[in-house]
Structure 1
Amino acid sequence: MTHANLMNNYFNPNLVYTQEDFQYRFLMRHHFFKSLLREVQQVNSYFRQKQDRAGRPGFSPHQKVTVALRMMAYGSPADSMDETQCMSESTCLDTLEHFCDTIVKVYKEEYLREPN
């Protein structure tokens, strides 16, 4: 249900919120989020949706990236994500760790340089 709400609010064709709302809440433009999501999914399989042991779908890539971005952008504690994304504290921390490691892998050559 959390995934469906996130998709209906920000990503499906009939958006609840405008592009300006998206940019305000995510601190980036919609097309950059999509690009970031695509690159993160290609590099790290953690960000692909899998099934849990009961055969139900796990957290979506959109949910995982959203949690990581909100924790970094707003300084939100991991346990507060349970209220908005229905994700446990330990899962949020794992997601943030995977996200940061993946971002370094993806953008290291282009953006991270030795100090001069």
Structure 2
Amino acid sequence: MNRSLFTRIVRDLSANYPYFQEGCDVVGKAGISALVKCTSAIRQLAYAAVPDSLDEYLQIGEKTSRDCLMHFCNGVIELYGEDIDCTKWPWAQCPQAYRAQFSRGDSGSEPFILLEAVASQDL
């Protein structure tokens, strides 16, 4: 993901959702920034990272990391839902060993690849 897209998502989430707005705790210490919260969510999605694997890298706990992912996904769907387009392409030559990984019960038994594109009208 390029930097300008990432910063735009962080900026939009910060502007629209209190969870991504930086606050202070009881002692007056600054909370976790929107940049760190979004980085946590993106890393979990991109690398299939478990929430507690980001503890040392981003200095956030497992529960906070899970919450970041949940709020990030909900926010992106709400903000950009109409710009997200998904297309299922059947995979006719799918190797037998991979058939279960690329099939879902609610989409029939044939394997497919899901292509997703996000684009706004100005792009």
Q: Same fold (TM over 0.5)?
A: yes
Q: Does 1:79 find its partner at 2:52?
A: yes
Structure with the bigger RCO (C-alpha within 8 Å, sep 6+) is 1
Gaps of 5+ in 1: 1-27
TM-score, length basis structure 1: 0.70
Q: Does 1:40 find its partner at 2:13?
A: yes
Q: Within 2, Cα distance between the matches of 1:90 and 1:38?
A: 23
User: What do residues 59-104 of structure 1 show as CA deviations (whole Å, max 9, x unaligned)?
Assistant: 0111001000001100111001111011010000011110010001
Q: Does 1:52 find its partner at 2:43?
A: no
1 or 2, which has the higher helix percentage?
A: 1
- Name which one, 1 or 2, has greater alpha-carbon Rg: 2
TM-score, length basis structure 2: 0.66
Report the number of matched residues.
87
User: What do residues 30-50 of structure 1 show as CA deviations (whole Å, max 9, x unaligned)?
Assistant: 111111111111221111111
Hey, what does 1:109 align to over in structure 2? Answer: 82
**Displaced runs of 4+ in structure 1, greater than 4 A?**
none
Amino acid of the residue matched to residue 52 of structure 2?
D
Gaps of 5+ in 2: 89-123
